[in-house]
Amino acid sequence: GAVVSQHPSRVICKSGTSVKIECRSLDFQATTMFWYRQFPKQSLMLMATSNEGSKATYEQGVEKDKFLINHASLTLSTLTVTSAHPEDSSFYICSARDTGSSYNEQFFGPGTRLTVL
């Protein structure tokens, strides 16, 4: 099946630093990628929809200046958590939609666990 990778898988940083997370579709093109966040024992919450070549669409309550999204190519989207704080500690998961598939199936990356000290 289609593969989506994320890097890094785990990151620990100091409060106030910025962290960049990469999401790559390895064997298919993805015009659309999605960024989710999951707190312990909570559901995945969609943060934003990333569209190649255009601005991301953010969900209500998600600060676009804090969570910068860049989708510069059909296989790569990045999420930058700027000036991270302990409350940003979470499991960040991306997914990519296979543009070439008639089912438009979404494939999830393995997630990035962010811990802000």
Partner 1 sequence: RKEVEQDPGPFNVPEGATVAFNCTYSNSASQSFFWYRQDCRKEPKLLMSVYSSGNEDGRFTAQLNRASQYISLLIRDSKLSDSATYLCVVKGNNRLAFGKGNQVVVIP
Instruction: Please report, as ranges, the residues that interact with partner 1 according to CB under 8 A.
Output: 34, 36, 41-46, 49, 91, 93, 105-106, 108-111, 113
**Number of other residues whose CB lies within 10 A of the CB of residue 107:** 20
Least separation in angstroms between residue 111's CB and partner 1 is 5
Least separation in angstroms between residue 38's CB and partner 1 is 8
Least separation in angstroms between residue 83's CB and partner 1 is 26
Which residue, 99, 49, 83, is CA-closest to 69?
49
Nearer to partner 1, 27 or 105 (CB): 105
Judge residue 90's burial from the number of C-beta atoms within 10 Å of its C-beta, 0-12 exposed, 13-18 middle, 19 or more buried. Answer: buried
Nearer to partner 1, 84 or 97 (CB): 97
Nearer to partner 1, 88 or 109 (CB): 109
